Chain A
Amino acid sequence: MSGPLESLRAMTDDQLAAALQDLGRSVWFPPAPADLTDRVVARLAEAGSRRRSVVERWREAFGPTRALRRSLVLAIVALLIVVGLAAAVAFGLPGIRLIFVGATPTPTLAPSGPVTASPSAGSAASPTAPPLGADLAPGSPTTLDAARAAADYPVRVATDPALGAPDVVYLDGSGSLARVTFVYGTRPGLPLATGATATALLTEFRGAVNPDAFGKIIRPGTTVEPVSVDGASGYWIVGEPHDLLYRVPGADLWDPVRLAGNVLIWERDGLTFRLETSADKATALRIAASMR
């Protein structure tokens, strides 16, 4: 029994150190799960959005019955923004940090039961049933005109005849933070997205796509193909539902894709457009090119 013991005892400290180093390579360690970092990043992103939704909930607390207080708060916020802007201009501070309201995650796809699409363009559905896409689009139903009045950018809408006018228009936020979503119900010749009552979801907002992030957050089985949308650069994303990452001033934000379909995403004039649909690429590109 003295063999191994003697060989260990005979070692100098340096030799023992080298032996420990070598032993360390054979010691069993639990493997790090491949998605460990991704889970951490997802948790951090979630924590970031929760912080935003607290603001939202607080905002909701000032309901119509507290209209006066609400407008007071809005006035104070507006004043602060003006002061902030003035300070930024006066001191040449780099960009004001914007909180992108539209990026607050909303519940992902939940089949909404047999809601039939209202054919009348731009109007909300009946008061008894939730309007088409209420489970899919962020914000509240409104009209195209109201959305155009609220946003500080020219709101475009698809003019492709296969899609026609949207069934419901949703508006979330206002000014530069406005996010407009058009929901399209059943359309002859266009497939319904799996488990959904909508054919297409078309969203536009200020913000930029972060293409660097595609490779990291898109799950295996999903492909991202750079495409040209009527001269503008975009991406055609096919595969499993996934989150998309946008770059807004000061942060990267996750946003879930709501329809279980394909996504065409493109940028034009500082705006990001996103078309979620089960239609094929050619149809999606045609619809995208019809935005006026």
Chain B
Amino acid sequence: MTVEGRPLEESELIHRAQRGDLVAYGDLVRGYQDVAIRTAYLACRDAAEAEDAVQEALIKAHRALGRFRPGAPFRPWLLQIVANEARNRRRSAGRRTGLALRVAEDRPSDAAAPSPEAAILAGEARETLLAAMERLAEDDRLVLGYRYFLDLSEAETAEALGIPRGTVKSRSFRAMARLRERFAEVAR
């Protein structure tokens, strides 16, 4: 779920893109545009802003491609640029809060079968959990959001947020505790 199953093809695309092949670059990043939009949206909470941030990040990533270490995972490297761009945009716009996350009307058709937990977390509990997430401070919200909403691995979350892996662990742990504290507040 976290790694695209085509490492050879991707390293070849990276190699070609580094040599100035724009078509290869397009192919390389096309597969990541969805997760890039989500990464940006979690940080800036504005659909149009997220789209702009991703576009700008893809331009910057192209410029920085020469510094990409061959063999390293590409996705978190790209997502770090996206996340930075989105956070910077939000900060420079002076906005502290964006649109609140909400549950989509319909589940995406390609979503995995509901887990047993989903059966427990129906309706109201789901809304409570989301509302509690929204009440967390940005750092806590992002670490949990990237880790669980976007299904990034611990290492990927660390790279996307530009923090050490150990910090992801400790921050997640504390964020979980603070999330629990919010349950009572939001459930009224």
Q: Known: A9-B183, A28-B103, A250-B20. Contact between A33 and B111, CB under 8 A?
A: no
Which residues from chain A contact B150 at a C-beta distance below 8 Å?
24
One of A3, A25, A29, A33 near B41 (C-beta < 8 A): A29
Confirm or deny: B151 has a beta carbon within 8 angstroms of a beta carbon on chain A: yes
Whether a CB of chain A sits under 8 angstroms from the CB of B27 is yes
A31 to B123, CA, bound (A): 24
Question: A8 contacts B128, CB within 8 Å?
Answer: yes
Interface residues of B in 80-134 (CB under 8 A from A): 101-105, 107-108, 111-112, 114-115, 117-118, 120-121, 123-126, 128-130, 133
Could you say which residues of chain A place their CB within 8 Å of the CB of B129?
Answer: 8, 19-20, 23
| Distance to closest chain B CB from A181 (angstroms) | 24
Give every chain B residue within 8 A of A250 (Cβ-Cβ).
19-20
Q: Determine whether the beta carbon of B183 is less than 8 Å from that of A40.
A: no
* Residue of B23, B38, B54, B118 with most partner-chain A CB within 10 A: B23
- State how many angstroms separate the Cβ of B183 from the closest Cβ of chain A: 5
Contacts of B62 in A (CB 8 A): 40, 44
Cβ B125 vs Cβ A44 within 8 A: no
Q: Residues of B contacting A252 with CB < 8 Å?
A: 20-23
Instruction: Please encode chain A, from 28 to 57, with 1 for each CB lying within 8 Å of some chain B CB and 0 for all others.
Output: 111111001111110111001000000000
State the main secondary structure of chain B at its contact with A.
helix
Most chain B CB within 10 A, of A1, A5, A40, A213, is at A40
Q: When chains A and B are docked, how far (Å) is the Cα of A38 from the Cα of B26?
A: 7
Report whether B58 and A7 are in contact in the complex, using a CB–CB cutoff of 8 Å.
no
Could you tell me the distance between the alpha carbons of A205 and B25 in the complex, rounded to whole angstroms?
26
Residue A244 at the B interface, CB < 8 A?
no
Contact in complex: B188, A216 (CB < 8 Å): no
**A contacts with B: majority SS:** helix
Q: Which chain B residue has the least Cβ–Cβ distance from A97?
A: B20
A7-B125 contact in complex given A15-B117, A30-B51, C-beta closer than 8 Å: yes
- A42-B119 Cα distance, complex, nearest whole Å: 46
**Are A36 and B55 in contact, with the CB atoms below 8 A?**
yes
With a cutoff of 8 Å between Cβ atoms, the chain A residues found around residue B103 in the complex are 23, 26-28
Which of A24, A210, A212 is packed against the most chain B CB atoms within 10 Å?
A: A24
- What residues on A are CB-neighbors of B147 within 8 Å? 17
Contact string against B for A residues 181-200, beta-carbon threshold 8 Å, 1 for contact and 0 otherwise: 00000000000000000000
Q: In the complex, what's the smallest C-beta–C-beta distance from A141 to chain B, in angstroms?
A: 32
A251 interface contact, C-beta 8 A: yes
Cβ contact within 8 Å between A22 and B22 = no
Chain A, 167-184, CB within 8 A of any chain B CB: none
The answer on a CB contact under 8 Å between B188 and A1 is yes
In the complex with contacts A7-B120, A17-B148, A25-B111 CB distance below 8 A? yes
Q: A5 to chain B: which residues have CB within 8 Å?
A: 125, 128, 183-184, 187
Task: State whether the Cβ of B14 lies closer than 8 Å to any Cβ in chain A.
Answer: no
Task: For A254, give the chain B residue with the smallest CB separation.
Answer: B22
B121:A19 contact, CB within 8 angstroms: yes
Q: In the complex the two chains form, what is the Cα distance from A25 to B115 in whole Å?
A: 11
Residue A13 lies at the interface, judged by CB distance under 8 Å to chain B: yes
* Interface 1/0 per residue, B137-155 and A, CB below 8 Å: 0000000110111110000
Please determine whether A27 and B23 come into contact, CB atoms closer than 8 angstroms. no
6 contacts between A and B (CB under 8 A): A7-B121, A16-B180, A20-B149, A26-B103, A32-B33, A36-B55
Using CB atoms and an 8 Å cutoff, list the residues of chain B in contact with chain A. 19-23, 25-27, 29-30, 33-34, 36-38, 41, 47, 50-51, 54-55, 58-59, 62, 101-105, 107-108, 111-112, 114-115, 117-118, 120-121, 123-126, 128-130, 133, 144-145, 147-151, 173, 176, 179-180, 183-184, 187-188
Q: List 8 A-B pairs, minimum CB-CB distance, nearest first.
A: A24-B149, A4-B125, A30-B47, A20-B148, A28-B104, A4-B124, A5-B187, A41-B26
Given contacts A36-B33, A41-B25, list 11 more A-B pairs with CB under 8 A. Answer: A7-B125, A8-B183, A23-B129, A25-B108, A27-B104, A30-B41, A32-B33, A32-B51, A36-B55, A38-B26, A252-B21
